[in-house]
Amino acid sequence: MSTPQIEAFLEMMAVERDASPHTLSAYGRDLADAEASVEGGLMKGDEAGVEGWYAGLARQGLSPATQARRRSAVRQFYRFALGEGWRSDDPSRRLDAPKQGRSLPRTLSGEEIQRLLAASAHEGAAGLRLVALVELAYASGLRVSELLGLRLEAVRRDPAWLIVRGKGGKERLAPLNTSAREAVKAWLIARDAARPDKAPDSPWLFPSSSAKGHLTPRRFAQLLDQAAIDAGIDPARVSPHVLRHAFATHLLDGGADLRVVQTLLGHADIATTQIYTHVATDRLAQVVRSKHPLARED
């Protein structure tokens, strides 16, 4: 449920704060939920009503991250309403941020990556495409949007590095190892062979009939699910983003500098990258507990 005030707030977020379509969509859903749940709606709701709505989020089983985002949306809306003179008070002022535990990124072992690649390599162009997708994601740490949005011209000359435009329009270099380059070459041969004679070529490395003209994240995730099942891996543990996590975690396991990994991932803040050090540390602790003679239980 939207209102003129919510629409005005979202317009302000888009124009003045350059909020992404994803953020605007999420905030729109969050505010619609609050509007429908707070007695009298957001413009007439009081502190008790807003706090009751917020307390109910935890009872619904929503994650702390989702609760925090909904709190942020409502608090920003009320600050906007105060500035516009629509309200003289802020009923969200006492909403406390939910406690968030450390959420470690899911990842795969090197052996599981190899099994996933082997399971992806079924016959035909579809298999070559999936192997190229997995190899690229794991070799370069690309976000799924960056991977699926690769243009054909970026790889035609067999580069050792890709120039990627990531979040905020910032460019960075993404590495390609020999295995990934060979997988791309094999896919390009199959891709070119499948194109009808004289038909115009798609500008995308992974073209499809989707509205955007290239493979969608949903379809890539579906293909990974099937490959995971074929590899004997729980598909709940595998996703395009998990391949990016594996890239970062395995680099740190191998002794890579945290700043280098930050640059390769395109993280603006190194604190975002530091979460991977916890994964590496936890893995080292497990090795010590299982392998050190004084740590093992008799």
The closest of 118, 56, 3, 279 to 48, measured between CA atoms, is 56
Q: Is 276 a catalytic residue?
A: yes
Which amino acid is residue 288, in one-letter code?
V
Catalytic residue among 44, 94, 151, 167: 167
Contact in structure between 129 and 185 (CB atoms under 8 Å): no
Catalytic residue among 79, 241, 278, 283: 241
Angle between helices 64-84 and 47-59 (to 10 degrees): 160
* Rounded Cα–Cα distance for residues 258 and 281 (Å): 13
The DSSP element (H or E) to which 161 belongs, if any, is strand 161-165
* Rounded Cα–Cα distance for residues 161 and 130 (Å): 20
Total number of residues shown for the chain: 298
Q: Is 267 a catalytic residue?
A: yes
> Residue 140 class from Cβ within 10 Å (0-12 exposed, 13-18 middle, 19+ buried)?
buried
Q: Is 71 a catalytic residue?
A: no
Q: Is 250 a catalytic residue?
A: no
Catalytic residue among 129, 214, 244, 250: 244
DSSP 8-state class, residue 118: H
Helix, strand, coil fractions of the chain, as percent rounded to 5: 60, 5, 35
Catalytic residue among 143, 181, 191, 245: 143
Angle at 46 between CA 40 and CA 50, to 5 degrees: 85
* Rounded Cα–Cα distance for residues 30 and 24 (Å): 10
* Rounded Cα–Cα distance for residues 129 and 214 (Å): 12
Contact in structure between 216 and 210 (CB atoms under 8 Å): yes
> Which active-site residues does the annotation give?
143, 167, 241, 244, 267, 276
